[in-house]
Chain A
Amino acid sequence: DSGVTQTPKHLITATGQRVTLRCSPRSGDLSVYWYQQSLDQGLQFLIQYYNGEERAKGNILERFSAQQFPDLHSELNLSSLELGDSALYFCASSVAWADEQYFGPGTRLTVT
């Protein structure tokens, strides 16, 4: 158990819908990362927050947004969902902004 929690574990929704994924980092970690993992793409970095501020951005679609709250938990919002958004979404956290990351168990999103 890494200490990073993610909810929900599984999510099944229809195209065009909007969902919110939630992540709680390890105690003491200030940085949160979001990744998407699909079979053909590997682990793709989406976005990183450090102590509430956006720190780095990867190939995150405009339909996706995230934020980190004052209590350091983070949410990833996915809207206008498409079939191709079906994937595992992982949250990770680290103490500082470039340290080793500890990953949560992931949320498996299925868009039908």
Chain B
Amino acid sequence: EDQVTQSPEALRLQEGESSSLNCSYTVSGLRGLFWYRQDPGKGPEFLFTLYSAGEEKEKERLKATLTKKESFLHITAPKPEDSATYLCARPPGGSYIPTFGRGTSLIVHP
């Protein structure tokens, strides 16, 4: 069964303390990977799409990277407003359904 696994489940950082979130997948024939941010009680907000190994995308303090087996979301000098759950997902394709990881809950303390 195709799997998208995120780690850690939860992460607490001090403001300014950089770190990385991991998304690994066992899906075959991966056709891209999405990253989303979700605030409590709200719908996920699209951040990035990565299509091929070696690709990188940046947005403010966030940078997403992709290898053949995993993706990282790097957070540089985070601020409290970066606190949220970050989800990665594989898109649908062929006979595959869209699949989301369980997410990493990030809390950034001032």
Contact = CB atoms under 8 A, between A and B. Distances in A.
A102 B46 contact: yes
A43 B6 CA distance: 13
Interface stretch (B61-69, B76-84, B97-105): B97-105
A56 B97 contact: yes
Interface residues of A, number: 26
A90 B92 contact: no
Interface residues of B, number: 22
A58 B98 CA distance: 9
B42 interface: yes
B73 to A, nearest CB: 15
A4 B97 CA distance: 21
B92 A42 contact: no
A31 B44 CA distance: 17
Which 3 A-B pairs have CB atoms at the shortest separation, nearest pair first?
Answer: A103-B43, A43-B100, A42-B102
Interface of A: 2, 4, 33, 35, 42-43, 45, 48, 55-58, 88, 90, 92, 97-106, 108
Given A97-B92, A101-B34, A103-B44, 18 more contacts: A2-B46, A4-B43, A33-B98, A42-B100, A43-B44, A45-B99, A56-B92, A57-B97, A58-B97, A90-B43, A92-B43, A92-B44, A98-B31, A98-B92, A100-B91, A104-B43, A105-B42, A106-B41
